[in-house]
Amino acid sequence: MDPRVGEIASALRGSRKYATLTEGVLQRIAAWALQRHHTTKAALQAARGKLHQAYGAYLTPGNLTTTERMVAALPAPAARDAVAQASRAILARHASSAERLGFLSDLYPRLLGPPLDLTRVRRILDLACGLHPLALPWMGLSPETEYCAYDIDERLMRAIGQYLTKAGQSGRAEARDLMAWPGTPALPAADVVLLLKTVPCFERQESGASLRLLQSLEAPCVIVSFPARSLGGREKGMREQYQETAANLARGLGARMERLGFPTETFYRLWR
């Protein structure tokens, strides 16, 4: 390995924004940058830009601090109403998650509705989850359903793990780089896999990464979603563009595709 990979990864970890990302992510991004830039300085700048594009633009240290504080303030176990109130307050402070607040109550009866039978759903994988697990009060899951959340930020995953415990939801939260291949250990089989607003981020890092990940999983239902507009509010034909992306994923998985449209986001249920 190029010794500069460790140097760049160390510099990235020195940033408050990326200090708690998994070491594997930092080294992978550093290696990517060095393949494209001859000098360490230029590679470090490119690595920072790539991390901002893939992660930093969506969850700031301030968002994370607020999440930790509000989750810590919940009793254990917490009443359902208290969990829902805290969850809504946290989601409202995060740009991407706040977009769903207006249709949370309508979303999950459709997203996790028939032909899915929630009484038979034993495990859900929420990949590159961000703050999405905080929508649990609206999902209608049994407390025994195992909710497994994965993301690249160790600090975030500690907060999500604490949240699951206080919400009385079976499951776990684990920090890992889902783009590392092959993944070790392998992700468990599940009834439903969620990959929400993440495919574009994966594809900007490595073309074909999303399909490769999904093909490695054992799950009859995969749910992916795409933003209907940019963080800046522009639509730019995104629905049409991502419709084709979703169709390509469905073809690659040999899956039947079902589209569920909402004001700021389009969801696709892929049935294998």
Is residue 223 a contact partner of residue 267, using CB atoms and an 8 Å limit? yes
**What is 3-56's CATH number, 1.10.8.10, 3.40.50.1220, 3.40.50.1000, 3.10.20.30?**
1.10.8.10
- Angle at which helix 61-73 crosses helix 154-167, to 10 degrees, equals 30
Residue 230: pLDDT over 70: no
Which pLDDT score, from 0 to 100, does residue 98 have?
Answer: 87
Mean pLDDT of 13-31: 92
Helix (H, G, I), strand (E, B) or coil at 133: helix
Mean pLDDT of 145-167: 96
Cis peptide before 77 (omega within 30 of 0): yes
Which pLDDT score, from 0 to 100, does residue 67 have?
Answer: 92
Is residue 234 a contact partner of residue 186, using CB atoms and an 8 Å limit? no
Q: Taking the domains of the chain in order of start, what are their residue ranges? A: 3-56, 61-271
Mean pLDDT of 19-37: 92
Which pLDDT score, from 0 to 100, does residue 131 have?
Answer: 94
Give the separation between CA 12 and CA 187, rounded to whole angstroms. 27
- Tens of pLDDT along 60-107? 778 889 999 999 999 988 899 999 999 999 999 887 888 999 999 999
Residue 231: pLDDT over 60: no
Q: How many CB atoms lie within 10 A of CB 112?
A: 21
Is residue 241 a contact partner of residue 214, using CB atoms and an 8 Å limit? no
Which pLDDT score, from 0 to 100, does residue 180 have?
Answer: 85
Cis peptide before 185 (omega within 30 of 0): yes
Half-sphere exposure of 114 (CA within 13 A, CB side): 0
Give the separation between CA 123 and CA 73, rounded to whole angstroms. 28
Give the separation between CA 120 and CA 112, rounded to whole angstroms. 12
- Angle at which helix 61-73 crosses helix 80-92, to 10 degrees, equals 170
Compute CA distances 206 → 194, 203, 209, 265, whole Å: 20, 5, 6, 23
Is residue 242 a contact partner of residue 226, using CB atoms and an 8 Å limit? yes
Closest by Cα among 87, 50, 82 to 67: 87
The CATH H-level superfamily of 61-271 is Vaccinia Virus protein VP39 (3.40.50.150)
Give the separation between CA 129 and CA 110, rounded to whole angstroms. 19
Closest by Cα among 194, 188, 212 to 202: 212
Give the separation between CA 36 and CA 44, rounded to whole angstroms. 11
Residue 184: pLDDT over 90: no
- Tens of pLDDT along 197-207? 999 989 988 89
User: DSSP per residue over 197-229, as a string?
Assistant: S-HHHHHHHSTTHHHHHHHT---SEEEEEEESS
